[in-house]
Chains A and B, each alone.
Chain A
């Protein structure tokens, strides 16, 4: 119990004193996971809309793949991305292994299926005739998709929050492709694992608390948008 209290106290002091290393780690976590979530938002909602609203042979198989993708183990993604980004690997010429960019890539790969799968379900559960009605009002296909996305705002924002949650908490792939390099690719999750490994439990706990606070504050904002009061 003392350990946890120590951790909370340390977290408080780290925050209040704006300890530069911790601040750097926190901002980096936000930057990397934020970018990955943004990318997955665009890719995921587009892909989800495409699959939800069009018919094509093998559609059910594709939906199965997407749903499986939601359960894709992040550490597996990390392993494969590392192998591809190795200097002598197929994408080695990019030279981005052990960089924050590689972490954004890996996290985007983890988050996109999650956002796609939930967007797919969100759009599929809109009334079937709604599409017809929107087209009959004179919408172009693009306008129609935009209106459907707005109508499914509630579950779509849940998709974004799920995607963000999946990557802000991710550690396995981040260590593998990022290298946990001090001041460069070290984020809250990888730092927590490292400090735990070193036995510095109070530091690990304080980092965990910061991570929770960060996740909470982002989700508060997203929840606000999702649940914004409708006109009476």
Chain B
């Protein structure tokens, strides 16, 4: 990417380790976060409680900003060295949550912490990326055993613990991270990696066809098996309401607060997993295209970071984070538009949620760290 912009500002910033790229990257993040808060505000502004969701989300974003800065301004090599102990700790937390966790809507995902709750599975994703990147880069990994099986064994306990909660969405993200890493480190048979990642990415579309050919009761059985949390009324009520919301937005949308689906609460979880539907209903196709461009822009900049990474650890960290981000955006939007079953993956930077917001911002901080000239503040 060519460096553009005001040279004087560039000079000042460069002298401190920042550049225009960073500002574009951070700018995109800020805009998406803002759109998210606006949409959460739109659905929950009349909640009538002292501390509504949009206000809490602003608090999460503030905490996320701290996490972003820490991850950005540390040396990612030092962070990566903490990967194994961090992975062990998160595994312990995932065990704890199974026994001590707070249940909500049929799943036990949260560890209560005072007035808030902490969701270890969100942080597990980032820690897994660190762990795998650290594993591949600390020594040359050759052969099937070292390249595929051993990292697979690393992934497995976390994956199983997450699926046990159950949290199908985070479990799938786990798998996606693993597949993306495999693909990027390369295998003897590159085709396998390509197939693995593409099948994951194209899964929604394949699923649509396969899913469509099943009978209602078969679908319901499958869904209650894999994820009983969603669709308690069965038969795709949430998915239908989400499609209605998005479709009813038409070209220009119904305007802020104009979304009857979300305002009248037909759309469940309008502030969390279905925040995209709220946005789509209120801002229409044009708004949605703009939002997609924002995400594509962010991911494109992330790809640049990978391309310009100075070492394998940085490249792997960046690619892991990039793939996780990408996966979450695609699956979340895919499920709201009805191309994918409802699996409970939040939309990064937009869905309400403390753990997810902080984790996503920390990840993006780490991503930007990979690009940074080695000049550590911490």
A binds B: no
Chain A contact residues, CB within 8 Å of chain B: none
